[in-house]
Amino acid sequence: MTEPMVRIRGLRKSFGTKEVLCGIDMDVQAGSVMCIIGPSGSGKSTLLSCINHLERIDGGRMWVGGELVGYRERAGKLYELPERKVAKMRARIGMVFQQFNLFPHMTALQNIIEAPIRVKRQPPAEARAKAMVLLERVGLADRAAAFPSQLSGGQQQRVAIARALAMEPQLMLFDEPTSALDPELVGEVLAVMRDLAATGMTMMVVTHELSFAREVGDDLVFMADGLIMERGSPRTVLANPREPRTREFLSRVL
Ligand code: ADP
Ligand code: MG
């Protein structure tokens, strides 16, 4: 068995007295696409934040690329890594949010080259050349000089994806990447994600786009109340949900 790209065991996370992740176990195989669905408040975003160690966990362990996330283990005890090491780990994980979060005062190109130059110390000319390849890939080569305010939501999200890819991540996390878009702009973003999946990128995608999950997802989990209620191949789960909670959720979003 090959080591999965993401391994999660017994993950627990509370905010105050409220436990929002109540023991999550999950494997995401390298090169596969894991789709995560579930009602609002079920803990989907918190799960992604934990993988990036943007949230401190209260129990369990997670590994990305075989490395323990956020901690090192010695004699069965966990010690939190220094911020410098956490930043290094985060640089290997790309994240795309519902709100595109582009820097408004930078052009599309500047948004993409910022982290490679500052974090990876790429020479600017090299960063720019790579950014142009990425802009081409997301269909925006002609908008390199545009500011976010001059781009549609779909174009901004495609720049955000290119920006994440510029760091050459080994894992991409998407948190409802099309939820803030006008319906006619959803397709162009999903098409970029579909192309990315076809290149073999490991992806975790929180989405309500069930047709994307069905066509692109290798695995699907349904989360509710901080638990994975059901998992399986997207086709099976979406066509024949076993759990009443899954059925009820699907009847509302379909
Ligand atoms: P989802 O993405 O599935 O909608 P979230 O992971 O955003 O769910 O939230 C899960 C639960 O955790 C919700 O009840 C939410 O209110 C709570 N929560 C999320 N982030 C915080 C936070 N920073 N502080 C307190 N509660 C939070
Ligand atoms: Mg969320």
Among all bound ligands, the one having the nearest atom to the CA of 41 is 1
Model pLDDT for residues 196-221, shown as the tens digit of each residue: 999 999 999 999 999 999 999 999 99
Nearest to 151 by CA among 94, 112, 116, 113: 112
Per-residue confidence (pLDDT) for residue 222, from 0 to 100:
98
Distance CA 221, CA 167 (A): 28
Q: Please check whether residue 227 lies inside any domain of the structure.
A: no
Q: Is residue 193 part of a domain?
A: no
114 located within any domain: yes
Residue 161 lies in a domain: yes
ipTM over the 0.90 cut-off: yes
Buried b (16+ CB within 10 A) or exposed e, 41-79: ebbbbbbbbbbbbebebeebbbbbbeeebbbeeeeeeee
CA distance 157 to 178: 8
pLDDT for the residue 55: 94
Which ligand is in closest contact with the Cα of 22? 1
Ligand showing the shortest atom-to-Cα distance for residue 13: 1
Residue 126 lies in domain: 102-168
Cα(45) to centroid(ligand 2), Å: 4
Number of domains in the chain: 1
Write out pLDDT tens, residues 46-77: 999 999 999 999 999 999 999 999 999 999 88
Q: How far is the CA of 124 from the centre of ligand 2 (A)?
A: 35
208 CB within 6 A, ligand 1: no
Instruction: Say if 56 falls within a structural domain.
Output: no
- Can you give the pLDDT at residue 253? 86
Q: What is the pLDDT of residue 56?
A: 92
Atom of ligand 1 nearest to the CA of 40: 4
Inform me whether the pLDDT recorded for 117 exceeds 90. Answer: yes
Ligand 1 pocket test, pick from 11, 15, 56 with the greatest ligand atom count within 8 Å of Cβ, gives 15
Q: Which pLDDT belongs to residue 1?
A: 64
Which pLDDT does position 2 carry in this prediction? 81
Residue to substitute in 17, 20, 52 for testing ligand 1 pocket (most ligand atoms within 8 angstroms of CB)? 20
Q: Is residue 151 part of a domain?
A: yes
Contact by Cβ (8 Å): 204, 51: yes
pLDDT at 254 over 80: no
Residue 160 lies in a domain: yes
Backbone phi, psi, residue 28, to 5°: -120, 115
Tell how far the Cα of 113 is from the centroid of ligand 1, in angstroms: 32
226 lines ligand 1 (CB under 6 A): no
Q: Does 41 fall in a domain?
A: no
Cα of 65 vs centre of ligand 1, distance in Å, is 26
